[in-house]
Homo-oligomer: A and B are copies of this chain.
Amino acid sequence: MRIDTLVVTGVGLIGGSFALALKEAGAVGRVIGVGRGRANLEEALALGVIDEIAERAADAYARADFILVATPVGQMARVFAEIAAAMRPGAVVSDGGSTKCDVVALARGLFGARLGRFVPAHPIAGAELNGAAAARAGLYRGKKLVIAADGASDADAVAAVRRAWQACGARIFEMTPELHDRTFAAVSHLPHVLAFTLVDEIARKAHADTLFQFAASGFRDFTRIAGGSPEMWRDIALANRDALLTEIDEYIARLAGVRAMIGDRDGAALDTVFANARNARAAWLESIEAGETPPPGPREA
């Protein structure tokens, strides 16, 4: 179950940590790094994240048993086309993108006869640090990895992706690309939009300096996700546009409802909303602490 030659395209936190985790598990032979930033690749080599820098991407792809595309989604069209043209027929290709319907659509258009070898996936792990220097072997330990295949992936390729991420310590889940994107629109992409929007709104007010002066720890935690990469979150918002628009609309409607309760001085209704939220959050935290998977969720593979 060992990958002889792994190619990581985009050796940052996600791709670099995948390589390090597989190395620590003894589940990989040689790791070749592909990327546009020479300095980052040199650093990855110096840190032992990769064993070799690909001078030509196509040559690396031709040698690979397993290729992880861990670039921003915006670069994947070019990368997929290069891989499809160069890869060996039996190799496995996967990705680490935060949205899946768009990646699946790209793959369908670009992999041609190799489409079965591609397995769309999404590791659920923090992404606020960038570059190979941020990579660490333990990043995925106990974290979730979603395989969001649409039926086009070969069973043995899915199994290989599952085994690789299990070797990294991840817990594997499977769901459709559509459910994946709806789910993360609600619990990740929407909160990011809300946090970015709040800080932007406050920063634009005439008395912004006073406001920031009295912002406290609650504000800091609430807006932590507004510290993420603007480019990455712009790409995610656009890539998952339809699901995100639905979530924003539903949220605005709910917020307008809460606004009406405050306007009407309806304390009982506010109490219901706030208590429902607090209780749901407490139950969620308890289920995390208990290591439970609240039913009925997607099956853990």
Contact = CB atoms under 8 A, between A and B. Distances in A.
A203 to B, nearest CB: 4
A163 interface: no
Interface residues of A, number: 95
Interface of A: 124, 126, 144, 146, 173, 179, 182-184, 186-188, 190-205, 207-231, 233-235, 237-238, 241, 244-245, 248-252, 254-256, 258-259, 262-263, 265, 267, 270-271, 273-278, 280-282, 284-285, 287, 293-298
Chain A interface, DSSP helix/strand/loop, else mixed: helix
A122 to B, nearest CB: 10
Given A209-B296, A230-B271, A225 B222 contact: yes
Contacts of A259: 245, 248-249, 252
B198 A211 contact: no
A213 B294 contact: yes
Copies in the assembly, this chain? 2
B230 A281 contact: no
Contacts of A192: 218
Contacts of A248: 255, 258-259, 262
A201 B276 CA distance: 10
